[in-house]
Amino acid sequence: LAKTTQPISMDSYEGQEVNITCSHNNIATNDYITWYQQFPSQGPRFIIQGYKTKVTNEVASLFIPADRKSSTLSLPRVSLSDTAVYYCLVGEVGDMRFGAGTRLTVKP
Amino acid sequence: DTAVSQTPKYLVTQMGNDKSIKCEQNLGHDTMYWYKQDSKKFLKIMFSYNNKELIINETVPNRFSPKSPDKAHLNLHINSLELGDSAVYFCASSQGWGGRTDTQYFGPGTRLTVL
């Protein structure tokens, strides 16, 4: 069961780049890393997924070092609407655990 | 054109009652899930169904019974409701069976309050 560790909270300001790091020391060889975003009173929403190196989409980038024991979600130029909880997940759905996530607060 | 929908959005009931929450997905996905998010905001999987068959059944009281009449629906029935059942319940779906690359799509949640 792959366990993940993230900071409980982070603050940022509009227009800044935000990097949220997740530790997953016991990641299995076949595991992918998936990030979800959850706004208050809504269900989680898929942001990005990767296996190694770097993945980029229209919303974020995901950086994964060679040892894959951690990953960093990068949100470029955040806005107030990016205030949410961000979850890092590893493994199969049945093995994944949504922990407390990282509560990102973007300030004006 | 909501992808994953749940009804009702809010449910307030008395202890001991029986209630159901309905979930429907129009994405053509093969697998559906139920999650519980408690007051501390931890989101925990309860069940998953793949093509109407139960594939994940986490340790939840047997008062909780999922029912999948077809691939697009997964309802959650709860008997003899208790105070500790108060939480937000999320339905989700995914294309595959919940493998390592599967992406889940979540519904808006049902906030259950047991008085």
Q: What is the mean pLDDT of each run of 10 residues along chain B (115 residues)?
A: 90 97 95 89 86 79 91 95 96 84 91 97
Q: Show me where the domains of chain B are located.
A: 4-98+110-114
Q: In which domain, by residue range, is A52 found?
A: 9-107
- B18: alpha, beta or left? (left if phi > 0; alpha if psi -120 to 50): beta
Does B4-98+110-114 carry CATH code 2.60.40.10?
yes
Cα atoms found within 13 Å of the Cα of residue B13, Cβ hemisphere only: 22
Q: Rounded CA gap, B85 and A8, in Å?
A: 25
C-alpha distance from A50 to closest chain B C-alpha (Å): 9
Q: What is the CATH number of the domain that holds A89?
A: 2.60.40.10
C-alpha distance from B82 to closest chain A C-alpha (Å): 22
For every residue of A8-54, DSSP letters joined together read SEEEEETT--EEEEEE-TT--TT--EEEEEE-TTS--EEEEEESSEE
Chain A residues close to B55, C-beta within 8 Å: 94
Chain B residues close to A50, C-beta within 8 Å: none
pLDDT at A9 over 90: yes
Q: Helical H runs in chain B?
A: none
Between residues A99 and B32, the one the model is more confident about: B32
Nearest Cβ partner for A98 among B31, B43, B94: B43
Residue A15 lies in a domain: yes
**Number of residues written out for chain B:** 115
A31 to chain B: nearest residue by CA? B100
How many domains is chain A built from?
Answer: 1
